[in-house]
Chains A and B, each alone.
Chain A
Amino acid sequence: GENVEQHPSTLSVQEGDSAVIKCTYSDSASNYFPWYKQELGKRPQLIIDIRSNVGEKKDQRIAVTLNKTAKHFSLHITETQPEDSAVYFCAATSYSSASKIIFGSGTRLSIRP
């Protein structure tokens, strides 16, 4: 069945450095790729998303890249800050009446002061 793999499962970076989280998906029909941030005990919240008609999208310190040929997409966080510490989930879906949204297993990002 459809699958989304996410790596790494844990990531620790020095404050101010960059963090990169990578996901691969299996369903070639996927055309929408959101990223969610979930702080401990809280709900997942969308931080950025990308659709299949673009290869890159940026919002301040956060960027996402998409390689449809390779079925890869990545989250890039630059100039990391302590408040970036959280679990990040990627997801992939295709929007049709029979679409599924599948989440990756998550990456626990820790920012070292």
Chain B
Amino acid sequence: EAGVVQSPRYKIIEKKQPVAFWCNPISGHNTLYWYRQNLGQGPELLIRYENEEAVDDSQLPKDRFSAERLKGVDSTLKIQPAELGDSAVYLCASSLELAGGNEQFFGPGTRLTVL
């Protein structure tokens, strides 16, 4: 079974430019997460989807970040315009939502560098 797929793996852009990340979750997983991980820190949840509905986007900086999960499968995360402080690894994870908690499977991440 294929794991969570993310692309690109690396992205270098200049500040004020737009950037987009793509995630394909594990087949059948209804819950999808986007995280940002800064160096030496734990993942920070940006947004969580249950199917196509964003059920938690309280940590998403909505002035410049947007996300979508059309048809409840693939998802894209966009930053426009990017700032220097956005440099981080952006992780996508998916899970099969079950009562009482469930394992999240992470993708390899996209390492974003904003110059």
Contact = CB atoms under 8 A, between A and B. Distances in A.
Contacts of B41: 105-106
A109 to B, nearest CB: 14
A46 B33 CA distance: 15
A53 B99 CA distance: 13
A100 B46 CA distance: 10
Contact of A103 (B40, B44, B102): B44
Given A32-B100, A95-B99, A95-B101, A44 B55 contact: no
Contacts, number: 59
B25 interface: no
A97 B105 CA distance: 19
Say whether chain B's binding surface is mostly helix, strand, loop, or mixed: loop
B5 to A, nearest CB: 12
A101 B103 CA distance: 12
Interface of A: 6, 31-32, 34, 42-46, 49, 51, 53, 89, 91, 93, 95, 97-106
A43 B44 contact: no
Contact of B109 (A43, A89, A101): A43
B91 A43 contact: yes
A49 B103 contact: yes
A45 B42 CA distance: 13
A72 B38 CA distance: 25
Nearest to A92: B101
Given A44-B91, A97-B55, A103 B43 contact: yes
Nearest to B6: A43
A29 to B, nearest CB: 12
A90 B97 CA distance: 19
23 contacts: A32-B100, A32-B101, A32-B102, A34-B103, A34-B104, A43-B91, A43-B107, A45-B106, A46-B105, A95-B97, A95-B99, A95-B101, A99-B56, A101-B33, A101-B48, A101-B104, A103-B44, A105-B40, A105-B41, A105-B42, A106-B40, A106-B41, A106-B42
